[in-house]
Structure 1
Amino acid sequence: MRRVVLLAAVLLLAPSRVRAQSEGAGARVRGIVVTPEGRGLANSIVSLEPGGRELFADDSGGFFIGGLAAASYHLRVRHLGFAPRDTTIVVETAGPAAPLVVRLERLTMRLGEVRVRGQKECRDPGPPDPDTDPTLAVIFEQLRENADRWVLLARQYPFTWQMERQFRFGDGDRAQMTRPDTVVIRGDLAWGYAPGKVISEVVDRGQRTRQLNIPGLRDLADTVFLAAHCFSYGGLETVDDSEFVRLDFRAASRIRGPDIDGSAYLDPVTYQLRRATVRVTKPDEVGRNITELRVTTWYREIAPSIVILAGTRAVTTFDTRQGSADRTETQKTVGVKFYGRVPPGVVR
């Protein structure tokens, strides 16, 4: 049985006074994020309010925030697999001081003992309530943390990624394959989820066709998407010889048009998102003779605790006179290009 320890989701500390040296445009704060053993936590997310300042810590867990006025600030530090930490700091301009040391505690849950609760209908959508189901709420927040990391990555380290795609029509020896082509996608691109509107009309290869907009990592941080889905714990599941924490989501029953049901699969130790599966609800409304539309997405780590899309496989099943037939679209990431700075520890 896998044993993971569940700690309080937020640790609130007493206010700390920080003497921040004044330099030109304002004061500054330095610090380091560490594990309970004192090891630096690369790519921790550090945010400061008021002011909306948010950034990744460097590869040793260090962070620097400049241009501050002397005042009280709310400092929040978080990292995948660890309980977030909140504190109030009072910034002064009386000269330099020792860097802040922010120590994060690991999340621990007895996942094998958590009750699996399936859902047939979604009548009360929205994020899990930590008061009624604290374990589900913690797992959900780890999924959302993956999404927040993607959003911050695109903002702090602008990038594009190149995907190679190919279509396959039919099965067996009579299957037809198209020649691979490539598309370049911006990291900050968001298609804008709307309930019941995951299918759009596009022109592809000179032909007008319907396109499924697959919810990506950004959508898992989108309040509209979260408010339109119910979430439940699907248990520990083994897929391709690897064990995952499965989190299921289901579209709200009130949504009239085609939408998305699916599952996200997290690493049970690091809580990194590794794969996701989705299916379109009401596929008969998507196109003529369509009986099923399902998509599997894989993710990989590009920098410590930051994942990006590795590939997708979308299968559309049609009802024909000869029986069912599939059209399969595969995509795989073949390159990532950063414009300017590169995240610490990046793996190409």
Structure 2
Amino acid sequence: MRLSLVLVVAALAVPTSLPAQSVRGQLTDSITKAPLAGAFLTLVDERGVEKARTITNNAGEFLLTSPAAGAYRLRSKRIGFRPYVSTPLTLTAGGTISYSAAVDPIPIALAEIVVQGERQCDVEAGASVAAVWDEVHEALAAVSWTSRDPAYWYAVTRFARETGPGGRPRGPDSTWRDDGYRLIPVKSAPPEQLEREGFVVVDQDGWTYHGPDADELISDAFLRTHCFETKPGRGETEGLLGLAFTPARDRRLPDITGTLWIDQGTAMLHHLDFTYVRLPQEVVAPRAGGRIEFMRVPSGAWIVRDWVIRMPRAQMRQRPMAMGTEVVVVGFQEVGGNVLEIKTRSGTIVYRSESASEALAATPTNAPLPAPATISSAPAPAPASAPAAASVAPATAPGTTPARAVGLARNRNSNVIEGAEIEASTANDAYALVQDARPTWLHSRGIISIRDPDAGVVQVYLNGNPFGDVNKLREIQRLEIRELRFFGAADAQLRYGVGHAGGVIEVSTGAVAPTGGEPIAEPSPASNSNVLKAEEFEESTAIDLMALVQEFRPTWLHSRGVTSIRDQSAGQLRVYLNGVSAGDVNQLREIRVSDVKELRFLPAAQAHARYGVGHEGGVIEVLTK
């Protein structure tokens, strides 16, 4: 059995400076006149396609930037209420308009829905299916958006266990802690790939099981290949309303069937139960599948709280009386995780499980991954394999040690560079640091695959996200680094999947668990070239921030060059206004100096760690008064 990780390629692109067009404003309740804080808001084009999404702040304020000029509408959908849709708005290239709206709080009566309707292969065809789907879609879209906004610190316990065919454990669970900011809590393969290949993929190394993530469930590909019907909750799902889905009749690939459960009173998404069907080689395993539980945090964002996936282990056995062979399920491997605690960047606890105190003290952080299990009886039809770590567990797992590394002294571990060793180095960047301390990490493994010439290339992962080849190490400053780890071919493919036979260098930058008060990695105000505070520019005659930065920190505006062939904005310098994406550096011209108390510059590694893939050009953070 192998653990296969889906490779999410961060393609490199030619940056182009395009004018941004935005709409800013405020949402309020039409009855109470109170601001609608934590409300999701989308910008949709003339065909109703979502082009941008954000969440309102505590004052109900928002800023949305469209990818191109044109006619758009604002759509706000609060779960449990009818959606608000604005009149058409015209956004001109480089312009910003103001638009505020008072939203009528009209509740949706889900309790009146007839929940045993006809099976629909078009979610908009049946009234009951359409009503439930609207609530489910909004929650899943919020989960997807939140996963790309690393504003929360997670303390997570992950686990792996072996069970018999009936679910009885075989030996103790393997558990370990995995803490940090999560960019993608649950990640599957791209929807088009799942439509083309199915949810269980067979290759020469075994079977790979893909779990469904939010992007997959709301994708056009998933809607094209599945039919839906509403169903009532019974037993443990009493009080819940289910939206069940099954593969379309003409679909023959391995797939999933399942039910998305929402609260019938509040319309809040509760959990997803799913089962793998049409398994290869006609394997029958009704328990193969999993569960993903969702939760809305006080800010209005949605997260994945708990998850588990069960993958069958099968063997080929001789039938009695020499009647040939048959495939028999002999057990399951279960992998999953539980969120113990969630904090904001300022250290505010937004969620804590009942068992958090005991678990946080008892479970070791970044403990070893369990060694891959091996099926001893041959020929097995296919060792089961977990979907990408991202398919069943939060991405970004820096510092996790393979099982075989247990017991090595940390200060003598040839696969780790950390702490005092980093501080003592005179290197400027991560590449020079590795050259000095672990030069063998950079050795080429040669061409190991005719079909994939890059299979033997050493790859770099920054805070759990693909960052490129070893040359990207030159972009990470030594002072930003908390730890580096090297994974050889076997461990890299166990952790990140096929295509990593050249090995992986993991880089963890200096984020630590928030403890309250100041944001993480707050730069020192004294002589900090990456911070510009009001007291430094109070005598300036600059009117807007572009002029101010040109006067005091002109190096912030330097181009970072070509960083992606496929993403034309990957190397572009981005601007964030009070934590909300505002666009490229041209947005600085629209912000008055008199409104600002502080600016901060985040170079590539810090911007990548804080805001995720696509910020390799750096970020200028603007904090207003």
Distance 1:262 1:68 in 2: 35
SS in 2 for 1:177: coil
Aligned runs of 1:210-221 on 2, under 5 Å?
A: 210-221=207-218
Match of 1:332 among 326, 331, 337: 337
Tell me the equivalent position of 1:164.
Answer: 158
Partner of 1:34: 29
Contact preservation (8 Å) 1:109, 1:135: no
Match of 1:137 among 113, 130, 138: 130
Indicate if the aligned counterparts of 2:272 and 2:292 stay in contact, CA closer than 8 A: yes
Give the whole-Å Cα distance in 1 for the aligned partners of 2:329 and 2:346: 47
Q: 2:243 aligns with which of 247, 262, 275?
A: 247
For 1:212-231, what aligned pairs fall within 5 Å after superposition?
212-231=209-228
In the alignment, is the contact (CA less than 8 A) between 1:284 and 1:290 conserved in 2?
Answer: no
Counterpart position of 1:277: 273
Distance 1:88 1:231 in 2: 32
TM value normalised by structure 2: 0.42
Give the match for residue 56 of structure 2. Answer: 57
Deviation of 1:54 after TM superposition, in Å, equals: 2.6
Question: Which residue of 183, 190, 193 corresponds with 1:192?
Answer: 190
Runs of 4+ in structure 1 off by over 6 angstroms are 66-72, 171-174, 318-321, 335-338, 340-345
Can you list the C-alpha shifts for 1:186-244, whole angstroms capped at 9, x where unaligned? 418441132351113699xxxx542321112222221101111111111244526x521
Structure 1 residues 125 and 67: CA distance shift in structure 2, 3 A = closer
State the alpha-carbon separation in 2 of the partners of residues 335 and 327 from structure 1: 25
Structure 2 CA distance for aligned equivalents of residues 66 and 32 of structure 1: 17
1:152 matches 2:123: no
Contact in 1 for aligned 2:43/2:52 (Cα 8 Å): yes
Change (3 A) 1:225 1:65: closer
In structure 2, how many angstroms separate the alpha carbons of the residues matched to 1:65 and 1:179? Answer: 44
1:257 aligns with 2:253: yes
Counting aligned pairs with the same residue, the percent is 15
8 A contact 1:157–1:342 mirrored in 2: no
Structure 2: gaps spanning 5 or more residues: 1-19, 92-96, 318-327, 353-625
For the residue of structure 2 that corresponds to 1:180, the secondary structure is strand
1:30 corresponds to which letter in structure 2? G
Q: Tell whether the 8 Å contact from 2:291 to 2:309 is kept in structure 1 after alignment.
A: yes
Q: 1:233 and 1:260 mapped to 2: Cα distance?
A: 17
Q: 1:52 to 1:310 in 2, by over 3 A?
A: closer
Q: In structure 2, what is the Cα distance between the partners aligned to 1:76 and 1:38?
A: 19
* Matched-pair contact (CA < 8 Å) for 2:342–2:350: no
Residue 249 (structure 1) shift: 0.5
Alpha carbons of 1:299 and 1:154: their partners in 2 closer, same or farther (altered >3 Å)?
Answer: closer
- For 1:318 and 1:308, the matched residues in 2 are separated by 30
Q: Per-residue displacement from partner, 1:22-45 (whole Å, max 9, x unpaired)?
A: xxx988632123274444433212
**1:198–1:258: 8 Å Cα contact kept in structure 2?**
yes
**2:161, 2:170 within 8 Å by CA — same for their partners in 1?**
no
> Do the aligned residues in 1 keep the contact of 2:153 with 2:345 (CA within 8 Å)?
no
Within 2, Cα distance between the matches of 1:209 and 1:177? 25
Larger radius of gyration: 2
Distance 1:278 1:173 in 2: 20
Alpha-carbon offset, residue 145 of structure 1:
0.6
Corresponding position: 1:234 with 2:231: yes
- Where does residue 176 of structure 1 map in the other structure? 171
Q: Contact 1:258–1:286 at 8 Å: present in 2 too?
A: no
The letter of the residue matching 1:175 is R
Amino acid at match of 1:76: R
Following superposition, the deviation at residue 271 of structure 1 comes to: 1.9
Match of 2:239, SS state, is strand
Return the alpha-carbon distance in structure 1 between the equivalents of residues 338 and 99 of structure 2.
39
**Distance between the aligned counterparts of 1:34 and 1:42, measured in 2?**
10
CA shift in 2, pair 1:198/1:266, >3 Å: same
Counting strand residues as a fraction of each chain, which structure ranks higher? 1
Q: What TM-score, normalized by structure 1, do the two folds share?
A: 0.70
* TM-aligned CA deviation for residue 267 of structure 1: 1.5
Deviation at 1:116, TM superposition (A): 0.5
- Does the 8 A contact of 2:275 with 2:286 survive in 1? no
Taking the aligned partners of 1:174 and 1:64, their CA distance within structure 2 comes to 51
Q: How far apart are the structure 2 equivalents of 1:251 and 1:316? A: 19
Q: Please report how far the alpha carbon of residue 99 of structure 1 lies from its aligned counterpart in structure 2 after TM superposition.
A: 7.0
CA shift, 1:117, in A, is: 2.9
Give the residue type in structure 1 aligned to 2:209. L
CA contact (8 A) 2:33 2:102 kept: no
- RMSD between superposed Cα atoms in Å: 4.3
Change in Cα spacing, 1:90 to 1:277, as seen in structure 2 (3 Å) is closer
**How many equivalent pairs are there?**
307
Q: Counterpart amino acid of 1:106?
A: I
Q: Secondary structure at 1:165's aligned position in 2?
A: strand
Secondary structure at 2:275's aligned position in 1?
strand
Higher mean displacement: 110-119 or 136-145? 110-119
Unpaired runs of 5+ residues, structure 1, are 1-24
Q: Secondary structure at the residue paired with 2:142?
A: helix
- In structure 2, how many angstroms separate the alpha carbons of the residues matched to 1:278 and 1:68? 35
> Cα offset for 1:139?
0.7
* Counterparts of 2:221 and 2:111, CA distance in 1: 29
Separation in structure 2 between the aligned mates of residue 127 and residue 58 of structure 1, nearest angstrom: 32
Note the alpha carbon deviations across 1:153-200, whole angstroms, 9 max, x for none.
234446686550211222698722342246686418441132351113
Aligned to 2:104: 104
**In 2 relative to 1, CA 166–102 (structure 1 residues): closer, same or farther, beyond 3 Å?**
same
Question: Residues 166 and 115 (structure 1 numbering): CA distance in 2 closer, same or farther, change over 3 Å?
Answer: closer
**Is residue 159–residue 187 contact of structure 1 (8 Å, CA) maintained in 2?**
no
Q: Distance in 1 between matches of 2:23 and 2:241?
A: 40
User: CA deviation digits over 1:264-289, x for unaligned, max 9?
Assistant: 111223322211111111235376x7
Q: SS of 2:332's equivalent?
A: strand
| Secondary structure, aligned partner of 2:159 | strand
User: How far apart are 1:114 and its partner, in Å?
Assistant: 1.0
* Gap change, CA 1:111 and 1:334, over 3 Å in 2: closer
Mapped to 1, the partners of 2:177 and 2:88 lie a distance apart of 48
**Residues 168 and 260 from structure 1, CA distance in 2 versus in 1: closer, same or farther, beyond 3 angstroms?**
same
**2:79 is matched with which residue?**
80
